[in-house]
Chains A and B, each alone.
Chain A
Amino acid sequence: MDTFVQQLINGLNIGAIYALIALGYTMVYGILRLINFAHGDVYMVGAFAGYFLALSLGLAAAPSFLSLGIVLVGSMLIAAVVGVIIERFAYRPVRKYSRMTTLIMAIGVSLLIENLFVAQIGAAPRAFPDFLGSQSQLPYRLFGNAAISKAQIVIFLVSVALMVLLQWIVYKTKVGTAMRAVSFNLNSAKLMGINTDAIISLTFGIGSALAAAGGVLTAQYNPNIDPLMGILTGLKAFVAAVLGGIGNIPGAVLGGLLIGAAETFVVGYGHHIGIASTYRDAVAFAILILVLLIRPSGLLGSTVQEKV
C-alpha cells in the first residue's frame, strides 16, 4: 500500500510537469489550430534560462525558496519573450498559408533551437543548482514507507498555483475573454475589434512561461539539463494534451496527470506482469494511438466542429 501511494506521488509529480507543458500545446492549438512542435524546446530554453540566471546572479550558492522563486519567475519571463519572438518571426508570416506550412515551420523552429543550443553551449549535460536541498536531506515520511520530498511538494504547489492563475486569466479577465473569442472564431473576433495578433502573442507568451516553469521545476528533481531534454518530454506533454482533448485547458491538466501516473505505474508494477520498466515511453505513445482510434476528441474534448 505504501509503495502504491509512493508511486502515485511520483507519478502525479511528473504528471504535474507534463500538465504545465501540455497547457502550452493546448492553448496554442485552441487559438491557431497549430501543433507547436517547438514547445518542448521552449521548455528546455526555460530550464537553461533558469540555469544561467542562477549562475549570473550567484543564486546557486544561496539555495533557498527565494532563490528558486527569482529563478522561476525570471526564466518564465525569458521564455515568454522567446515564445513571442518565435510566433512573431516564424509563425505569423506563414499563418496565411495552409496549416501544413505552419506545422512544418514548427518542426523547423524546433530543430533550429536544439541545434543552436548544441552549437552554442554544447550537448553535455549541466547540473542545475539544487535550491531546496532535497538531494541532500531526507524526505518527509507520510506513513509506512511512503515519503515526499521538498522538491515534490514545491512542484505540486507551484504547478497548481500556476494552473489556478491560468484559469483565472482565461475566465475572469478581459484578455482571457478575448483569448476565448479568438479561439472561437479568429475572424469574428477581429471584426469585434479585438487585436487578434496581440492576443495570439500573449497566448504564446503564457504557454511558453508555463513550459519554462515546468523546465525549472523538473530540474529540481532531475538536475541534469541538456539541449535535447525537451524532445521526449515535449512529445509526452503533447500526448497528454491529445489525451485530455487538445484545445481544452482542464483536459491538458488531466491528460498530463494521467500520463505521468501511467508511466510511473508501468515502471513500478510492470515487471509483475512481464512489462519491463523500459516500456514507460512506449506506454505514452500507445495511449496516443488508442486515443486517436477510440476517442479522437480526447477525454474532455467536445466533438470538434471543423470551422468552415
Chain B
Amino acid sequence: MIPELKKPISVSKAKVLLPLAIVLMALAFSCTRQAEEKDPVDRSTIKIGYFGDLTGPNYNFGKSAINGVLMVADEVNQAGGIRGRRIDVVIEDDRGSPEEAARLTAKLIDQDNVIAIIAGGTSGNSLAAAPKAQSSHIPFISPSSTDPAVTQAGDYIFRACFVDSFQGEVMARFAANTLKAQKAAIIFDFNSPYGRGLTDYFELSFAKFGGRIVSKQSYTQGDEDFKGQLSSIRAAEPDVIYIPGYYSDVTAIAKQARMIGLTQPLLGGDGWDAPELWQLGGDALNGSYITTHYSVDDPSPAIQMFVESYKQRYGNLLPDAHAALAYDATRLLVDAITRAGTTNGDKVRDALAQTKNFPGVTGLITINADRNAVKPAVVLKLQDAKFIYQETIHPQIATPSPSPSPSPTKKRRTL
C-alpha cells in the first residue's frame, strides 16, 4: 500500500484508498490472530466485545446489559476462566445510534480483535452492526433485539431473546383472551423496526383471535406531543391501546393519554421494562400490561439465585430483563466456547447453533435453525411502581404454526 500512496493522488482517490488500507491492515491482524490460536497451550485472555446504549434516550438498556455481561465475566474468571483463559470484555457506547453501532463493530473486530460480540440493545442498532460481524466471521449475539430481521442478516448472528412475532402474538392473545378486548388501538414508533414489527404481528394475531384494530397512529422517537394521535384514538373508543415503544417515549404517551382522559389499559412490550419506567411514568402507568422476558418475582430457584447475586454486586439494584438477557447471552457464548474448545469464530458459531435446552435465567433456551432463541414469555401487570407477574406463555402454545408466514415480506429488504 505504501508505493500506491507515494504516487501523487487526488483527494478523492485518497478517500477511497485510505479505508482500503485500513481493511488490508485489519486482514493482516486477523491472520496473525488465527495463527496464535494454533499454539498448543493458550493462556491469553479471551476478548469479548460489548457495545450498547450506555448514554442516549434508552441508556438504561445498555447499563443493565453491561452489568449482566460483566457479571458472567467475573463469575467465569473467578472459577478459573474458560480452560484457564480469562475473559476480558471490551466495552463501547453506541449512544443509541445505528451509525455508531456499525462503526463500533468494525472497531471491536479490526482494532480490538475480539472473538465474539455481545451487543445491540435495540433492533435498529443490531441491524446496523450485523453485516460487519457476518463478513468477519465473528459470532454476534444480541441479548434483546427482537426484530426477526436481525438474525436474517447472516449465520453468525444470534439472539438470546424471543422474536417480535412471538411477543406480538402473546400480547394479542392476552388482550383477546384474558382482557376480553374486542377493539384495540395502536400507537407505534414509525422509525423503529422494533415498533413496526410488534405492530404488524399484534395486528395479525389480534385479528386471528377475533379482535379489530380501530385506530392506528404513529410517532417518531423524541416527539414531545402525542395528544393529536391520542385524541384520534379516543374518538375510536378502543378497549385497549397497544404502545410497542421504548420506555422514554412510552411514559410521555401514557401521561398524555391520561391527561386527555383515556382510561383504557395500555399494553406494551419488553421496551417498557426498565427501572426508569416508574420514575418517568408514575401513576399514569397503573393498570397497564407488558410482555417481557422474565420476572424478578418468578419463584423459580435459578431466577431467585441470579436476582440475589445481582443485587449483591450492584448495590441492591433489581436486574431488569435487559440485565437477565445479557447475562444469558454471555452464558450462551461461554458455553459455546467451552464446548467448541477454541475461540475460532467458525467453531464457536457451530457450537452456538447447536445449543439445546440451555438453562438460562430467562427460561430454557434452544437455538433454532434461524438462530433465534425459542423460550417462554411472561405477561406482567403494572401497578403502583410494581411489575406484578400474571402468566407465562410458552412458545409451543402461542405459536401454532412455525411457518414464517407472518413475517412481512418487506422485512426481507433489509437483507
- A interface residues (Cβ-Cβ under 8 A, vs B): 2-3, 6-7, 10-11, 13-14, 118, 122-127, 130, 134-136, 138-139, 141, 145, 147, 149, 151-152, 218, 221-224, 226, 228-229, 232-233, 263-268, 271, 276-278, 280-281
Considering only CB atoms, which chain B residue lies closest to A136 in the complex?
A: B283
Q: Does B234 contact A (CB under 8 A)?
A: yes
Task: Determine the chain A residues whose CB is within 8 A of the CB of B64 once the complex forms.
Answer: none
8 A-B pairs closest in CB distance: A267-B228, A10-B227, A278-B190, A264-B228, A135-B255, A3-B235, A6-B231, A127-B280
- A-contact bits for B212-253, CB 8 A (1 contact / 0 none): 000001111011110111011011000000000000100110
Which residues on the B side are within 8 Å of A123 (C-beta)? 55-57, 59, 95
Q: Are B282 and A127 in touch, CB under 8 angstroms?
A: yes
> Assuming A221-B227, A264-B227, A278-B190, is B283 touching A125 (CB within 8 A)?
no
Give the CA-CA distance A118 to B228 in the complex, in Å: 30
Chain B residues proximal to chain A, CB less than 8 Å: 55-57, 59-60, 95, 190-191, 217-220, 222-225, 227-229, 231-232, 234-235, 248, 251-252, 255-256, 258-261, 263, 276, 279-284
Cβ–Cβ contact B235 & A223, under 8 A: no
Interface SS of chain A: helix
Complex interface: chain A residues within 8 A of B190 (CB): 276-278
> In this complex, what residue of A is CB-closest to B257?
A135
- Main SS of the interface on chain B? helix
Q: How far is the CA of A2 from the CA of B232 in the complex (A)?
A: 11
16 sample A-B contacts, Cβ–Cβ < 8 Å, listed by A number: A3-B232, A11-B228, A125-B57, A127-B251, A127-B280, A130-B282, A135-B258, A135-B283, A136-B258, A136-B283, A221-B256, A223-B251, A267-B232, A271-B232, A277-B190, A277-B217
Across the interface, which residues of A come within 8 angstroms of B55, CB to CB? Answer: 118, 122-124
- Which of B231, B256, B280, B284 has the largest number of chain A CB atoms within 10 A? B231
- Chain B: minimal CB distance from A19 (Å): 15
Residues of B with C-beta under 8 A to A221: 225, 227, 255-256, 259
A303 to chain B, nearest CB (A): 34
Task: Please determine whether B259 and A278 come into contact, CB atoms closer than 8 angstroms.
Answer: no
Contacts of A141 in B (CB 8 A): 261
Partner among A2, A3, A122, A222 whose Cβ is within 8 Å of the Cβ of B225: A222
B89 CB, min distance to chain A CBs, angstroms: 22
User: Which residues of B lie under 8 Å from residue A7 when comparing CB positions?
Assistant: 228, 231
Neighbouring A residues of B229 by C-beta, 8 Å:
267-268, 277
Q: Which residues of A contact B279 (CB under 8 A)?
A: 127
Asked whether A124 and B224 contact (CB < 8 A) given A6-B260, A130-B282, A139-B259, the answer is: no
